[in-house]
Amino acid sequence: MSRVTSRTARRLGDEHGAAAVVLSLLMVPMLGFAAIAVDVGALYAERARLQVAADAAAFAVAQDCARGACGDMVATASALVEANDGDASAAPPVLSSDPLSVSVTGSTPVQHWFAPVIGHDATGVTASATVGWGSPDAGTAVLPLTFSWCEFERQTHGGLPSATTVHTITLTKGTADAMSCTGPSGNFVPGGFGYLDTETGTCSVASAVEQRSYSSTGNTPPSSCSAADVTQWIDRIVLLPIFDEYDGTGNNAWYRVYGYAAFRLTGFHFGGQFSTSPKPCSGNDRCVSGYFTRFVDLSEAFSYSSDAPALGTNILRLIR
């Protein structure tokens, strides 16, 4: 009986020894799989963080450049990359003129947990972002208004807007003695602004440079607009078309879009419930008050082109 037990013990010992050998042989591939599962996952997570950092840095530099002064691009890019990914660094941003854009690349080393077993201690991770900009050439304005080139020129002296002096601008068709000028296309245009036909069920208007936008008749905004639609934009910047040509009467009247300018709306009086307090004008006049200003827009409402007229507004877009 003791002889059988001894023999069994020796056999079990041999099996344990074999299992230990097999386990030791399997440790390397097991750690390799762990490296793939854990370390590669960490690389993807780090790259996602770094991409956010590069995007933020590229937008920050592009905004400065779009405003007319790129400043210290290296410092701006480095600050934004480090703020979004503390272990990362940014290479000097690269400007391009075709298309007008700036590229930022961030990088960081990622230390591995398991991969050192198979000879990989760390991997360098990089992410790049390119942001382009230019003047708006088409889009959807949040208010059904268009301003005359004549009025834009009067406030900005034909240059880029920068002042904050509030002006009261009267509806073109409501002023018999409205000022006039010759627009960039060589056509005579009146001063002031006009109402535009809206898209069905909205208070917004889609338009494009060198295309016609049709006039909304009547002495108040289109019926699809409420007072709240206009009031919500008080003391905010709206991007609106500037016209340099017009023709027709009534429902057939149209305005030709020259470009787009940013206008800070401070007040309006369109009659009835369409009015702020105090009113910027009185009686039968219809008017808005505010001023043209510089603006950088990151929204998706407008597209941009290097050929569109520069009226102080730039649209920024992320280019992968």
Top-confidence residue, 140 or 173: 140
Q: Render the burial of 282-319: b for 16+ CB within 10 Å, e for the rest.
A: eeebbbbbbbbbbbbbeeeebebeeebbebbbbbbbee
Indicate the pLDDT class of residue 233, thresholds 50, 70 and 90.
Answer: very high
Asked if residues 194 and 215 have their Cβ atoms less than 8 Å apart, the reply is yes
Beta strand 100-111 with 89-90 is antiparallel
Phi-psi bin for 36: left (phi > 0), alpha (psi -120 to 50), beta? alpha
Contacts of 156 (CB under 8 A, 6+ apart): 162, 163, 292, 312
Q: Which two tokens stand for residue 254?
A: 């149209």
Alpha carbons 93 and 260: distance in angstroms, whole number: 29
Indicate the pLDDT class of residue 198, thresholds 50, 70 and 90.
Answer: very high
- Classified as helix, coil or strand, 183 is coil
- The average pLDDT across 13-38 equals 61
Top-confidence residue, 92 or 185: 92
Q: Which two tokens stand for residue 307?
A: 């050929």
The proportion of the chain whose per-residue pLDDT surpasses 70, expressed as a percent, equals 82
The reported pLDDT for the residue numbered 270 is 94
Q: Which two tokens stand for residue 301?
A: 């409402």
Alpha carbons 268 and 265: distance in angstroms, whole number: 8
Alpha carbons 224 and 204: distance in angstroms, whole number: 9
Q: What is the DSSP string of 58-124?
A: HHHHHHHHHTT----HHHHHHHHHHHH-TT-EEPPPEEEETTEEEEEEEEEEEE-SSGGGGT--EEE
**Beta strands in the chain, from DSSP E residues, in sequence order:** 89-90, 94-97, 100-111, 122-141, 145-148, 167-170, 180-182, 188-190, 193-195, 205-208, 212-214, 236-247, 254-271, 274-275, 287-293, 295-297, 302-305, 313-319
How far are the Cα atoms of 2, 24, 80 from residue 11, in angstroms, in the given order? Answer: 14, 20, 66
The reported pLDDT for the residue numbered 1 is 46
Segment among 69-78, 147-156, 182-191, 215-224 with least mean pLDDT: 182-191
pLDDT at 204 over 60: yes
Q: Which residue has the tokens 């272990």?
A: 87
